[in-house]
A = this chain, B = another copy of it.
Amino acid sequence: MRVGVVGLGLIGGSLALRLAHSASNVHVVAWNHHDNPYTKAKAQGIECVDSLEELVHSDLDVLFLCNPLKVMPHILHDISEYGLPEKTTLSDVGSVKGLVSQQVKEAGLYDQFVGAHPMAGNELSGFVAADASIYDNALWAVCVDEHTQLHRFMDVITVITQAVDNTCIVLNDEVHDKAAALISHMPHVVATAFINEIVDDPNRNIAALLAAGSWRDMTRVALTDPDRTRAMVEEDAQNVAQLLRSISKRLLAVADNLEEKDMTSLVEFFEQGNPFRLYKSGAVQNLVQQREFVADSEHWQQDLLDSAKKGERIISISLQNDDQIHAQAIQYGGIK
């Protein structure tokens, strides 16, 4: 299997290293916008090429776009110009899926595309920080729709579950981006609102002196580069806006309850999250279940999405008789 990687940053570089060291027989070809990482990458068995055009014409099964989102339209335009071979399936590793799909469509490459998003990374960046182990036990979201070609989906799934030795869930762009807004993009805005609140407070230094664990944890993500956070939020603007309105509604209801001394509603508010508390306590999380199922070849996208909704992780998918999709899934329990 031949896999291409555009961009040897933290995520792309680590993926290239992981694939080059894979127990599966994978040949990795990479291109980076400058050749600084090439000496080290070549020493790790990664073939490095001098141009994106050369990479596109490297007889690849799958090509992963691991470049920054802001240069994505430019990269896609160039790939389209060079002519992506019919054999090659295009994928990516971006944290917002809807926007990338739209850009891929605009470049006329959507027929060959299956987007992905690995839950991997750390606060570092660049190939100097790249490390195959950031993919240890990682979960990938793979995004499909009714137009996704089954054999291209299988190409990407095979790289993830076999070559990278990871698990995945199968979503569509909309579900992915809403979930990412809930667990990451919206919380980043709230953390930022917190630090803005303290900066505006005439007693900010008193508050800062009294601050302990709860404040530290809830503002940590606001301390990273505000421009990068803003870009991430803008890319998922509609979902983030909707969640900000929903959270505000909850907070204003509590403000009303506190002022009206509505103790019944306050008890309800504080107990409503109990299913999540139970899940996090491990009482639910530790119930490991494994099952094998056959996805309907007409509605395989929906069958796999339904599996994800239960909280199952796919550990392998195989195609039998060309269109029978056999999936092995594992579940650590979910939020009831």
Point out residues on A near B: beta carbons under 8 Å. 119, 139, 141, 169, 171, 175-176, 178-180, 182-184, 187-215, 217-223, 226-227, 229-230, 233-234, 237-238, 240-248, 250-252, 254-256, 258-259, 261, 263, 266-267, 269-277, 279-281, 308-311, 313, 334-335
Contact = CB atoms under 8 A, between A and B. Distances in A.
Contact of A182 (B197, B217, B271): B197
B335 A208 contact: yes
Contact of A195 (B178, B206, B277): B277
> For the complex, would chain A's binding face be called helix, strand, loop or mixed by DSSP majority?
helix
A188 B217 CA distance: 11
16 contacts: A119-B209, A175-B203, A179-B201, A182-B198, A183-B210, A189-B251, A192-B273, A193-B251, A195-B273, A197-B247, A204-B276, A208-B279, A214-B221, A233-B258, A234-B266, A237-B258
A205 B141 CA distance: 13
- Return the 9 tightest CB-CB contacts between A and B, nearest first: A205-B311, A195-B273, A226-B270, A248-B248, A205-B334, A241-B255, A244-B255, A183-B215, A179-B207
A217, A229, A238: residue with the most chain B Cβ atoms closer than 10 Å: A217
A209 B279 CA distance: 12
Contact of A183 (B178, B189, B212): B212
A182 B207 contact: yes
A263 B259 CA distance: 35
Contacts of A256: 241
A194 B187 CA distance: 8
B258 A335 contact: no
A212 B247 contact: no
Given A205-B308, A234-B258, A244-B251, A210 B269 contact: no
